[in-house]
Structure 1
């Protein structure tokens, strides 16, 4: 989102994180802005019974943590690496100073927050539908349209069945059963456990 060379010029550091590392916890102070050079990070809440509520998966060249810096200064989610990652991080005070110095950053950050809000409202409406196939079909269609979490070279869905369950509130068993039915209806393909969507998308 923000040019990496600008972040480095303003004092960002590059760090490596292994899979499964927690970058920050829900309700912790927002002391850094983060931007992925490679890898994936998921943003989630965890319920008292241990269940995970998946809000977003951050991919390479995307940033996260700015919302908490600009709001109350406290993170609303927990950030966990989903794969080995290389991350640029810059302190919240330097991030704010950059925003004050470069007007174009305000537009970039505002557009990102608006996209995330739009997606969150889309998910709330989708989940209230409570029809598993329609939930999955619309979610995959939306991700593909946005060129997020769907490989643009091979059309593989880059989310596990567990992550789909955590994102939609459906049971994993429901996800599996629904996907098998969608495969029978030629709405997707399952090859060696990987899910692929048709080249022309899901109707």
Structure 2
């Protein structure tokens, strides 16, 4: 948890439930709140014309959504969409500002969180010169690192989402996953990928 739920609630936060596919916020919306995922998964996307989207990031329990925009005073430049039924903590901007003023250590935590996200962004941009296998394995390594250590990690992404995150075409993802499966690097059971 980036910021303890109890602290957020003490400053007036509310729990909002989002069903799969619902927007937490949309690109170009005005900044009004700090959001933190209590349970669930949310994708951060740039939306293109003709309904296409580019997934910038996938946020999980404990992650905050759009916090940096609260410091910029610009509208959101991305959208946040629930990938599954999710509980999101929502704290109005004025209350968020007061909480930061009263608890300056949170700024350091936000800074560390931002640095980790920038690392992820640079890692993803570095995929440009890699083979499809390397791109997919690097993505899976990054996702697996964010979970408790286990022998096998189930990848909770569709082939389309993997393609969007790596800059590959869906067909390339399907072929590459099959190739990695044949090499014994991945296991696919009932269309679910285990790494």
Scaled by the length of structure 2, the TM-score of the pair is: 0.93
Equivalent position of 1:172 in the other structure = 170
Distance, in Å, in 1 between the alignment partners of 2:129 and 2:50 is 24
Equivalent position of 1:114 in the other structure = 115
What are structure 1's unaligned runs of at least 5 residues? Answer: 198-203
Q: Secondary structure at the match of 2:154?
A: coil
CA displacement, residues 35-70 of structure 1 (integer Å, 9 cap, x when unaligned): 111111111011123321101111112211211101
Q: 1:36 to 1:151 in 2, by over 3 A?
A: farther
Q: After TM superposition, which residue ranges in structure 1, 4 or more long, deviate above 3 angstroms?
A: 150-154
Residue 186, structure 1, aligned to residue 184, structure 2: yes
Deviation (angstroms), 1:153: 7.6
Distance, in Å, in 2 between the alignment partners of 1:153 and 1:8 is 37
Distance, in Å, in 2 between the alignment partners of 1:12 and 1:53 is 30
Deviation (angstroms), 1:151: 8.4
Deviation (angstroms), 1:179: 0.4
Of 7-16 and 43-52, the range deviating more from structure 2:
43-52
Q: Secondary structure at the match of 2:29?
A: coil
Report matched runs for 1:4-23 at 5 Å: 4-23=5-24
Is the 8 Å Cα contact of residues 39 and 83 (structure 1) preserved in structure 2?
yes
Distance, in Å, in 2 between the alignment partners of 1:78 and 1:182 is 32
Distance, in Å, in 2 between the alignment partners of 1:153 and 1:13 is 37
Distance, in Å, in 1 between the alignment partners of 2:146 and 2:119 is 12
Scaled by the length of structure 1, the TM-score of the pair is: 0.90
CA displacement, residues 65-102 of structure 1 (integer Å, 9 cap, x when unaligned): 21110123321110111111111101111111111110
Equivalent position of 1:201 in the other structure = none
Q: Secondary structure at the match of 1:37?
A: strand
Equivalent position of 1:50 in the other structure = 51
Equivalent position of 2:70 in the other structure = 69
Deviation (angstroms), 1:104: 1.2
Equivalent position of 1:133 in the other structure = 133
Of 66-75 and 174-183, the range deviating more from structure 2:
66-75
Distance, in Å, in 1 between the alignment partners of 2:169 and 2:125 is 17
Equivalent position of 1:200 in the other structure = none
What are structure 2's unaligned runs of at least 5 residues? Answer: none
Distance, in Å, in 1 between the alignment partners of 2:74 and 2:12 is 20
Distance, in Å, in 1 between the alignment partners of 2:42 and 2:55 is 11
